[in-house]
A = this chain, B = another copy of it.
């Protein structure tokens, strides 16, 4: 039914070093990741003819001008926050399958630690995120300001409805950290235990410090080309088998939302699986958007790796660690590698499928799932195969 299956493939990947203080601008980070992805694909910048720039700031022109692209044929921005990186694979595949362009650069990044701190982002957020005016008028007056507060409500509700525990949230944090320790380009390298999680500072009940992702500096990029062309490029292609997007019914977090414990991924994942023609049990490794520990549990359910409400028990006992039934975020994720809006999850999925994931390699990984998660309930999912 859907014409996009296996039409396009990720041919190049690139990342900056991830850090807490890059000392360079947001644009410099983005361009560095872009240049590395283009080089990794064995292309020159002039061969890039379409760009999916980040959700925030830095339109396509920024890349065209600085990379020296004389005749860009296509650009589009996906304004769905953390769901945008994975969703960009769908737009890239559309661009290629329709013949509009041949090599699509998808890039995103953040200088969340040294640069664009949340507190200074009012004007950008207003312009790009639907719910911001709503939040400013109805939620900020009550002190409800920042993501950890929003997700605390969802996590608490999940606990109430399904008996999810803080120890289960901790299991996610511990697993991501174990994986980050294996990764030379991860920020958090100190081992943590379930006890460390339980003792970490409470940020917004029930979420503790170790339930929260990093704010960091960095950028990541991929180059998507046609499946046919990718075969002849530098590395083994990661084919885009399936991809889907999901949008919320309400632009508000809480008030008008049908459920606090279902995410946009619940709409996105079935589209991706239908396109790919496989089921969750076929997935060898999953890179799941992990802005908070709770999100991993909720998405594991909504993707269909287990039944609704069983995500808490699912993440225990090492099941989502390397060697477990479903290795999750083998790079360390947003929780322990770096926060670059999920593009690092795609890069890691490609490494797994190429067999170049180093100490975190899942043996013979053939199929990887990558998810994206936008703050207002947007979701995206892509299924990649080697």
Contacts and interface: CB of A to CB of B under 8 A. Distances in A.
B247 A64 contact: yes
Interface stretch (A107-115, A124-132, A180-188, A340-348): A124-132
Given A65-B250, A97-B98, A123-B126, A59 B73 contact: no
A233 interface: no
Contact of A2 (B3, B91, B99): B99
A73 B65 CA distance: 32
Interface in A82-97: 90-91, 93-95, 97
A325 interface: no
A228 interface: no
A72 interface: yes
Contact of A128 (B59, B94, B131, B249): B59
A244 interface: yes
B251 A61 contact: yes
Interface in A48-80: 56-62, 64-65, 69-80
B79 A78 contact: no
A250 B4 CA distance: 33
A3 to B, nearest CB: 4
Interface core residue of A61, A72, A77, A78 (most chain B CB under 10 Å) = A61
Contacts of A77: 76-79
Interface string A230-246: 00000000000000111
Interface core residue of A93, A124, A246, A249 (most chain B CB under 10 Å) = A249
A11 interface: no
Interface string A331-347: 00000000000000000
Interface in A5-63: 56-62
Nearest to A68: B249
Nearest to A247: B72
Interface of A: 1-4, 56-62, 64-65, 69-80, 90-91, 93-95, 97-100, 123-124, 126-131, 244-251, 267, 271, 376, 378
